Amino acid sequence: MSNSTPYAPQIKIPELLERGKSQLTTLPVYRDGALVVPTDVRYSLTAPNGTKIVDEAAGTFPANISQYTHSASNLADTLELGEGYLQSWEITFSTGVYNFRRSAAVVKRRLYPVISDGDLTSTYSQLADIRPSTLTSYQSYIDEAWYAMIQKMRTEGGGLEYLVMSAEAFRAAHQNLTLYYIFRDFHSSLGQSNGRYLDLASEHFKQYTYEWKQINFVYDYDHDGQSDQPNNRKSKQPVIYTCQPGSNYRRRYRRR
């Protein structure tokens, strides 16, 4: 039995699964601002060629968050690297059985952010003092800014974040977008039409927009875990050919 209640799985970016490693994948599901309580979880992972890597395996749901632990063997080193994998979650709630899907990629390494609270307070030393008492850090803003940047990179130019070899290239843009989120939230909480927090939010959004356009990095086009042309940095929007490239182009973008 299934039901049409529009539950909301928390899916911000495609799932990245590191090849040859044991790792946990999770899927929180929300309704009315709260986690929905599962009673059963079944998880599947399908390869781009349709092969079932994991087929309706039993998951768990500690603290009401559906999860499944991949073994290093089912993410074997022989799996094709890249996009096109699909996670399927069959989760039973009190209202019925629901099926959720999430895009996934098998990768050599994830890309991780390079800023933390210290990078924010090094710019504004008073941030630690004015942080709301309900927060122990600004991590939620840092995370949301990071997800927004990964989404933007993927949608604007087709770049794949896990092929970037120089994470520091994102630092300035990430820092400014995080500060924009923080000051915009502070301004919103005051209920004013203008003010210092709004000015700061606008300033950092403009700086973020500028820094985003300047991003360039070392990229791994062929998924081999090594920087391709390390002395020739690429724009944040590497060219991905979907048809026959020019005659002088040497095809580098392939999976192994």
Supply the pLDDT for residue 146.
98
Angle, in degrees to the nearest 10, between helices 196-214 and 171-190: 160
When pLDDT is averaged across residues 165-185 and rounded to a whole number, the result is 96
Q: Among 15-19, 53-57, 154-158, 245-249, where is mean pLDDT lowest? A: 245-249
Share of the chain above pLDDT 90, in %: 76
pLDDT tens sequence across 80-107: 999 999 999 999 999 999 999 999 999 9
Long-range contacts of 51-58 (CB under 8 A, 24+ apart): 53/79, 53/85, 56/90
Model confidence at 110: pLDDT above 60: yes
pLDDT tens sequence across 133-142: 999 999 999 9
pLDDT tens sequence across 206-220: 999 999 999 988 888
Which residues does residue 2 pair with via DSSP β-bridges, in sequence order? 97
The DSSP string of 92-141 is EETTEEEEEEEEEEEES--------HHHHHTT-TTHHHHS-TT-S-SHHH
Q: What structural domains and CATH numbers belong to the chain?
A: 8-107 (2.60.40.10), 117-235 (no CATH)
Q: In the structure encoding, which two tokens stand for residue 46, read together?
A: 């399908």
The predicted model scores a pTM of 0.84
Distance CA 23, CA 69 (A): 6
Model confidence at 247: pLDDT above 60: no
CA angle (204 as vertex; 162, 175 as ends), nearest 5: 35
The DSSP string of 142-165 is HHHHHHHHHHHHHHHH---GGGBS
From the list 33, 176, 40, 154, the residue with the least C-alpha distance to 105 is: 154
Supply the pLDDT for residue 158.
72
Overall size of the chain counted in residues: 256
pLDDT tens sequence across 225-238: 887 766 666 565 54
CB atoms within 10 A of CB 128: 13
Average pLDDT, the chain: 88
For residues 142, 144, 148, 151, the Cα torsion angle rounded to the nearest 10 degrees is 110
pLDDT tens sequence across 32-83: 999 999 999 999 999 999 999 999 999 999 999 999 999 999 999 999 999 9
CB atoms within 10 A of CB 212: 19
Supply the pLDDT for residue 111.
94
Supply the pLDDT for residue 188.
87
Supply the pLDDT for residue 39.
97
Contacts (Cβ under 8 Å, ≥6 apart) of 121: 127, 128
